[in-house]
Amino acid sequence: MGLPVLIYGKSGSGKSRSMKFFEEDEIVFLNTEKKELPFRKRFKKTGCSDNINQIIATINQNPEKVFVIDDAGYIMTHLFMANHRNKKGNASFEMYDDIADAMYYLVKMVKTEVKDPEKIVYIMFHEDTDDFGVCRLRTIGKQLDRKVCLEGMVTICIRCMSENGNHFFRTVTDGSDITKTPEEMFDSPEIENNLKLVDDTIREFYGWKVEEDKKHD
């Protein structure tokens, strides 16, 4: 089984930026919206599919240990925009069910269909604030939120934040969001905006081999 990790934050908070610390051949970048990266480096392996089955197939077909789906929220958006005009009444509810199913199975299939247990799949989302003032994943409609609690399906959910032009990750909730990580995984509730650092820390915590060859090049 693979390990799904949720990364969420506002637009411009540094979600995509955090990838720049990986080497160009170290990750497989799955770009659902075909947008440009906010830094000069370009990864050697990229894909643009928003099809769940194709994404899982890509993860299984490539030997890399790190995969980033950016931005997974657009999988929902694309499904909604492709179908909402022709859906009325019960068909509209069925459309939202289909969208919820897609996101549920994306996370579920990373855990059940990815063959290599040391593959980490970072699933990036924009954030939104609910009626209670809690920052959580941005989805399509309250019906979807009631049907699927994506953060409840994972152990690691990290919030990307920015203050005064400084980007950072939050690893522990302050009560206003859904952030969570295992106890003692990270030394601080706020860490550098560096997904490579996050990846190394997760692998060390679980006793997985951290790539050393690139560190000595």
Instruction: Report residue 213's pLDDT band, with 50, 70 and 90 as the boundaries.
Output: very low
Q: What average pLDDT does the chain have?
A: 87
> CATH 3.40.50.300: does it fit domain 3-216?
yes
For residue 184, the one-letter residue type is E
Task: Please tell me the pTM assigned to this model.
Answer: 0.88
Question: Can you give the length of the chain in residues?
Answer: 217
Helix (H) or strand (E) holding 73: helix 73-83
Residue 141 has a pLDDT of: 63
- CA–chain centroid gap for 200, Å, is 16
Q: What is the pLDDT of residues 96-146, one digit of tens each?
A: 677 777 788 889 999 999 999 999 999 999 898 888 889 988 877 666 667
Between 12-26, 28-42, 97-111, 113-127, the lowest mean confidence (pLDDT) is in: 97-111
Retrieve residue 146's tokens: 């009631």
Write down the domain spans for the chain: 3-216
In angstroms, the Cα distances linking 20 to 1, 36, 43, 128, 190 are 26, 13, 9, 25, 19
What is the C-alpha separation between 180 and 194, in angstroms, rounded? Answer: 17
Higher pLDDT, 18 or 83: 18
In this model, does residue 176 exceed pLDDT 50?
Answer: yes
Residue 89 has a pLDDT of: 54
Could you tell me which of 189, 185, 187, 194 has the C-alpha nearest to residue 167? 194
Residue 91 has a pLDDT of: 56
Could you tell me which of 53, 54, 22, 55 has the C-alpha nearest to residue 39? 22
181 Cβ partners below 8 Å, 6+ apart?
Answer: 155, 156, 157, 158, 171, 172
Retrieve residue 57's tokens: 């197939």
